[in-house]
Amino acid sequence: MPKTNYVCEFCGENFKEDRNACLTHEDTAHVKPEQYKEISTVYYSGLSTYPDSVKLTMKDGAVIQYDFFGAIKESDQKESLPATGNSAEGPEK
């Protein structure tokens, strides 16, 4: 009979045949964003249509900044939006 390995989707840790342990680990070992829909843009440089930096509020109340390094997958749209440099503030460090 085949055995099932469960893998944490956040860190890749393996849980051999223990789905509940994997789910518990995913819920307790990693701090996740409070909401994925409400991401506040921090800074657009005008060099890209994507923000250079975004902030996420985490479930524990921390506010984390992520910086754009590069696109993993290009847009499926034929035309992308024009680049906009509409933020007066730069990225926080």
Each domain of the chain, given as residue ranges in start order, spans 1-30, 31-93
Please state the rounded mean pLDDT for residues 34-38.
62
pTM, whole model, 2 decimals? Answer: 0.46
pLDDT one-digit tens code per residue, 47-81: 766 778 888 888 888 888 888 888 888 878 765 44
Determine the distance from the C-alpha atom of residue 16 to the mean position of all C-alpha atoms in its chain, rounded to a whole number. 27
CA distances from 11 to 22, 25, 31, 83 (A): 11, 10, 12, 34
CA distances from 66 to 7, 47, 48 (A): 25, 17, 16
What is the rounded distance in angstroms from the CA atom of residue 80 to the CA atom of residue 48?
Answer: 10
